[in-house]
């Protein structure tokens, strides 16, 4: 049976030693944080994830969700766990106190989200998507929605979804066919089909609030072939009055649930909207004449898209956290097995001569795979919590310069966190399963489930190739490249902080080489992508990988500096900091060199990729 132990000590290190959150006690939400409170949140949260959610993980995989006579049922134990989850308040840590939440900052809620996903990713998707949905509704909804619907979602009484994808239309939203027609009373009637809707229907709550994007037809009933008429709508499963009272069933039904390779405890639904009552969110669409920009061209998107992208960005960060979670739990189980399983002898001679064989932990390649898991998990956790801190700083920073840097940096790194983190989460899950040999391929140890569950993270909320294109095609050039230039300056400051420290010199030298590769690839893109946009597309995935490796290297240099200082000063827990230094060395020695080959691939251009006619494939 698989196991999981939440990395509470590592979160504590990140909060108080790396990020020093006590210096932000004048920010809302941070003012109530102290070591005692954060220890209580992390400790009790860890206990819930370890004792309630983790035992249901294999149950959810084995039973899956069922669909019969139009009813979707979750696996045994899920509803009871969900009720306990909400009763304990874990679903409302980050919601504002005005909405009935605890008002805690993202750096705390992300920590709990990671623990929950490691314990049971399929389960945590239900409250996770609800959080994204009520956040979007709170930002764009009418006053009555904020007063009488959002609090029910915050409490967990109702759930929420994101309804974006259609059978013929994934990333290219211009092709959407779902439409919404305005009625005399100001509501809309929405028709269409959405697919791959996580938590689209289930038996854990009485009502589900669907956040749906749809096009508004013109006066002739035609749909524009662009984003100009795309709007954002709230569509409840059960209709509600403005006081929040549920009435009759809306025209929203689940047509089927998907038969999937993983996250089987999460219901993935085909949702049919048949003349469903829908409420437009955001400003009323402008008429055709107002839908043109100053140069006379039609605008590419509407105000409704802003609400959708806000919800989507929150979801992308959440999926990136799932990448860390998959790595952490896979690594932990790989370690436990490698310390117990005996096979062969150490290459330098038997380490346990009184036994018939040594534990496989003595073999360098086993350690290589496990150190990849640990160094990625802890490095990515450091970067993700730093970005979550940027979310708060973007609003509450003392100066405009601080706020701007935080907003630019979090915007720049969001596709990296979603794309690179989930690529690596799957890679680590595979490597950890490899430690088990044939036993990893069968169900007994639960490792093959981690691999299957982790694979979806690379696909949904924008496939990772799309994340890479977002980084290269949109984020690098935004605001004249201000965000990436300031981020690079931050990396350079981190390198300077290691000057004069002999212990850190090899680590800094490795990071400097990776950073040089990142700069080289960036310059190549600036010189070549405009000449041929296919060059950007061809380089994007390799470029995102360089960006991720260097960003984690930056965090490891910061953590190594703290660790050397702690060991020099004397500490009650020297083994903790020694492990940090070993992981930092592993990342710089074994992973950072990958930037050189990735940079060569990025600069190879698009010619070979685009050379063959489609028929030649």
Pick the catalytic residue from 461, 492, 575, 589: 461
Q: Residues of 129-168 as b/e, b for ≥16 C-beta within 10 angstroms?
A: bbbbbbbbbbebbeeebbeebbbbbbbbebbbbbbbbbee
What is the rounded distance in angstroms from the CA atom of residue 374 to the CA atom of residue 331?
7
What is the rounded distance in angstroms from the CA atom of residue 176 to the CA atom of residue 169?
6
> Sorting pLDDT into bands at 50, 70 and 90, what band is 227?
confident
Percentage of the chain beyond pLDDT 70 is 96
Per-chain mean pLDDT for the chain: 94
pLDDT attached to residue 308:
72
What is the rounded distance in angstroms from the CA atom of residue 132 to the CA atom of residue 94?
11
The residue-averaged pLDDT of 216-229 equals: 89
Residue 297 has pLDDT above 60, yes or no: no
Encode pLDDT of 449-470 as tens digits.
Answer: 999 999 999 999 889 999 999 9
**Residue 166 among the catalytic residues:** no
Whether the CB-CB separation of 199 and 129 falls below 8 Å is answered with yes
What is the rounded distance in angstroms from the CA atom of residue 300 to the CA atom of residue 153?
32
Whether the CB-CB separation of 375 and 586 falls below 8 Å is answered with yes
Phi, psi of 223, rounded to the nearest 5 degrees: -100, 130
Task: With residue 400 as reference, give the H or E element that holds it.
Answer: helix 400-434
Whether the CB-CB separation of 137 and 160 falls below 8 Å is answered with yes
CATH for 159-288 (3.40.50.300, 2.40.110.20, 2.60.40.10, 2.60.120.10): 2.40.110.20
The residue-averaged pLDDT of 131-143 equals: 93
The residue-averaged pLDDT of 210-225 equals: 92
Nearest to 370 by CA among 386, 384, 359: 359
pLDDT attached to residue 289:
47
Q: Which residues contact 294 (CB under 8 A, 6 or more apart)?
A: none
Domain spans, the chain = 159-288, 464-606
Hey, is 229 helix, strand or coil?
coil
Tokens of 274: 């048949």
Residue 493 has pLDDT above 50, yes or no: yes
Tokens of 149: 């619907």
What is the rounded distance in angstroms from the CA atom of residue 598 to the CA atom of residue 522?
12
């Amino acid at each position: 049976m698989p196991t999981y132990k939440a990395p509470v000590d590592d979160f504590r290190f990140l909060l108080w030693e790396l990020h020093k959150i006590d210096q932000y006690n004048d920010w809302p939400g941070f003012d109530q944080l102290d070591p005692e409170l954060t220890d209580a949140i992390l400790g009790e949260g860890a206990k819930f994830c370890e004792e309630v959610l983790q035992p249901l993980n294999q149950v959810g995989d084995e039973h899956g969700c069922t669909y019969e006579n139009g009813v979707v049922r979750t696996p045994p134990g899920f509803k009871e766990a969900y009720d306990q989850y909400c009763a304990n308040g874990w679903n409302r840590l980050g919601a504002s106190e005005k909405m009935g939440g605890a008002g805690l900052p993202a750096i705390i809620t992300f920590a709990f989200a990671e623990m929950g996903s490691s314990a049971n990713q399929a389960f945590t998707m239900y409250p996770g998507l609800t959080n994204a949905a009520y956040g979007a509704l709170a930002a764009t909804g009418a006053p009555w929605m904020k007063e009488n619907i959002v609090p029910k979602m915050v409490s967990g009484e109702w759930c929420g979804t994101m309804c974006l994808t259609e059978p013929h239309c994934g990333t290219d939203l211009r092709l959407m066919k779902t439409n919404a027609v305005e009625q005399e009373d100001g509501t809309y009637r929405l028709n269409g089909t959405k697919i791959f809707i996580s938590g689209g229907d289930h038996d854990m709550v009485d009502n589900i609030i669907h956040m749906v994007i749809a096009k508004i037809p013109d006066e002739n009933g035609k749909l524009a072939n662009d984003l100009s008429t795309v709007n954002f709508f709230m569509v409840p499963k059960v209709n509600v009055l403005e006081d929040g009272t549920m009435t009759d069933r809306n025209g929203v039904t689940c047509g089927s649930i998907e038969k999937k390779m993983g996250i089987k405890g999460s219901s993935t639904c085909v949702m049919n909207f048949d003349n469903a009552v829908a409420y437009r969110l955001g400003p009323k669409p402008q008429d055709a004449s107002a839908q043109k920009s100053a140069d006379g061209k039609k605008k590419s998107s509407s105000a409704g898209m802003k609400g959708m992208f806000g919800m989507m960005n929150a979801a992308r960060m959440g999926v990136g956290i799932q990448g860390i979670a998959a790595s952490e739990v896979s690594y932990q189980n790989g370690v436990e097995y490698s310390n117990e399983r005996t096979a062969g002898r150490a290459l330098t001679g038997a380490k346990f001569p009184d036994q018939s064989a040594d534990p496989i932990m003595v073999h360098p390649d086993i350690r290589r795979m496990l150190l990849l898991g640990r160094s990625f998990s802890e490095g990515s956790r450091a970067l993700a919590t730093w970005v979550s801190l940027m979310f708060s700083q973007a609003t509450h920073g003392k100066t405009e310069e601080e706020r701007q840097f935080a907003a630019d940096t979090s915007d720049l790194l969001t596709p990296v966190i979603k794309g690179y983190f989930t690529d690596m989460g799957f890679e680590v899950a595979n490597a950890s399963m490899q430690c088990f040999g044939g036993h990893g391929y069968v169900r007994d140890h639960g490792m093959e489930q981690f691999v299957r569950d982790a694979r979806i993270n690379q696909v949904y909320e924008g496939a990772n190739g799309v994340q890479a294109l977002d980084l290269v095609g949109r984020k690098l050039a935004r605001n004249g490249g201000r965000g990436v230039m300031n981020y690079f300056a931050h990396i350079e400051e981190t390198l300077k902080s290691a000057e004069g420290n002999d212990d850190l010199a090899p680590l800094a030298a490795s990071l400097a080489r990776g950073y040089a590769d990142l700069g080289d690839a960036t310059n190549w893109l600036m010189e070549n992508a405009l000449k041929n946009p296919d060059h950007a597309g061809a380089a994007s995935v390799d470029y995102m990988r360089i960006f991720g490796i260097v960003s984690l290297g930056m965090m490891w240099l910061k953590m190594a500096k703290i660790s050397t200082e702690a060991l020099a000063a004397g500490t009650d827990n020297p083994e903790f900091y020694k492990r940090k230094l070993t992981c930092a060395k592993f990342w710089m020695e074994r992973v950072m060199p990958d930037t050189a080959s990735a940079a060569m691939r990025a600069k190879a251009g698009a010619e070979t990729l685009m050379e063959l006619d489609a028929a030649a494939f």
